[in-house]
Amino acid sequence: MTLILCVDDRGGLMFNRRRQSQDRLVRQDMLRLCGGRPLAVSPYTARQFEGEDHVKVTETPGEEDIFFLEDLPPQPFLERAKKLVLYHWNRAYPGDVRIVLPPQGWRLEEQTEFPGYSHEKITREVYTR
């Protein structure tokens, strides 16, 4: 599985059962990254992708899925993932669901910066085991 997470500077993903932020250009980049394969998302996340093709709604992604996770603790999914994609908001938000940054046991393969729609700078990092 390829796991995709959006994180703040402190590894935060969510606060009080809500996503910290969202950005339409990040969503477009995720879909482009899938290369025509479906992007698996939870029912919570599916609302961001209404009207988009190539989105699969699931709470239990398969081993070959590309899964964008927002609303669940990431550790069980990190243990199963072969590839990890982090989109950094480059800001510090309140958060109560977090991952440790940099991710332990992962090797940084690629780092790209691009302007977001609602964020001046988004950093995408791609990691492998």
Q: pLDDT tens-digit profile of 18-50?
A: 999 999 999 999 999 999 999 999 999 999 999
C-alpha angle 89-26-21 in degrees, rounded to nearest 5: 45
Residue 34 in tokens: 């899938």
pTM score = 0.95
Mean pLDDT of 68-95: 93
What pLDDT was estimated at residue 17? 86
List all residues 6 or more positions away from 59 whose beta carbon is below 8 Å from its beta carbon.
42, 43
- pLDDT confidence tier of residue 73, bands split at 50, 70 and 90: confident
Place of tokens 């390829």: 2
Average pLDDT, the chain: 94
